[in-house]
Amino acid sequence: MSDPILSLQAVHTDIAQYHILQGVDLEVPRGQVTMLLGRNGVGKTTTLKTIMGQWTAKSGKILYDGQDITRLPVSARARGGIGFVPEDMGIFSDLTVEENMLLGCTSGPLDSARKEWLLGAFPALGTFWNSEAGNLSGGQKQMLSIARAMAEDRQLYLIDEPTKGLAPAIVSTMAQALRELKGQGASILLVEQNFSVARALGDSAAVMDDGRVIWTGPMAELAENKDLQERLMGLSMEAH
């Protein structure tokens, strides 16, 4: 197997007086979709934010493309090729859809071929291109958040619960776009509670509990083994 695009080694993160990440070890292989799974409150979102630099790792090491980025500022990590879709979507409500998309391009204007692809994947964004993003529906905002992260070619995408609370039809749109992104060779670390999406997209999985990664392996192995799911996450994923 080639070098992983991302590697976390014994990463600890505190938020105020709380010790959230307690030695996370994780590898994200190149060109694959890695699902980060686990119950609520086990540290999945904190892991993504620590990789992105929004929370600073107290100790441990984060290697991205072979480089130690543990102490790099957030913007340097993003410019290095990490795209981030936070759980709250981070949409700029006062800006138009177009302006939100332009902010996703740090190195120049939005490439026309890229725009065409994104509007093909998310047609609703084209319809409301010049409208304020704050007036979009929840699903459209989620599409915008993901499309904005994809506005430039990036090596690694950190995506936090992109299908949360969305209608099945939009979930399917979202999953298709992520599949296409994967098809372009991007690496994705995806926090996802929707089991069918996780099973359909995931190549590998890492399960977290209590601030640590307690299991890693192929997604298919986890998907097929209900006992393993219940042991790791306290429930069968089929129920979701």
Binding site for other proteins (CB under 8 A): 52, 54, 73-75, 78-79, 84, 86, 88, 90, 92-95, 99, 102-104, 106, 120-124, 127-128, 131, 134-137, 139-140, 143, 148, 167, 169-170, 172-173, 176, 180
Euclidean distance between CA atoms 189 and 3, whole angstroms: 16
Q: Cβ of residue 20: shortest distance to other proteins, in angstroms?
A: 17
Smallest distance from the beta carbon of 134 to other proteins, in angstroms? Answer: 7
Rank residues 140 and 229 by Cβ distance to other proteins and give the closer one.
Answer: 140
* Residue 16: its H or E element: none
What's the closest the beta carbon of residue 141 comes to other proteins, in angstroms?
A: 10
Q: How far is the CB of 1 from other proteins (least distance, A)?
A: 29
Closer to other proteins by Cβ: residue 84 or 195: 84
Q: Considering only CA atoms, which of 136, 202, 203, 199 is closest in space to residue 170?
A: 136
Q: How far is the CB of 87 from other proteins (least distance, A)?
A: 12
Instruction: Name which of 55 and 212 has its Cβ closer to other proteins.
Output: 55
d(Cα 150, Cα 143) in Å, to the nearest integer? Answer: 10
State the minimum distance, in angstroms, from the CB of residue 12 to other proteins. 21
* Cα(153)–Cα(82) distance, integer angstroms: 10
Of 102 and 214, the one with the shorter C-beta distance to other proteins is: 102
What's the half-sphere exposure (Cβ side, CA atoms, 13 Å) at 121?
23
> Assign residue 208 a region: left if phi > 0, alpha if psi is -120 to 50, beta otherwise?
beta
Q: Long-range pairs for 217-226 at CB < 8 Å and ≥24 separation?
A: 219/35, 222/37, 223/195, 223/198, 223/199
- Inter-residue contact 38 to 192 (CB < 8 Å): no
> Considering beta carbons, is residue 59 or 106 the nearer one to other proteins?
106
Task: Please identify, using beta-carbon distances, which residue of 181 and 233 lies nearer to other proteins.
Answer: 181
Neighbours of 127 (CB within 10 A): 12
Q: 121 vs 219, which CB is nearer to other proteins?
A: 121
| Closest approach of other proteins to the CB of residue 5, in Å | 18
Q: Do 201 and 182 touch, CB atoms closer than 8 A?
A: yes
Tokens linked to 81 = 């090729």
- Tokens (6 digits) for 83: 């795209």
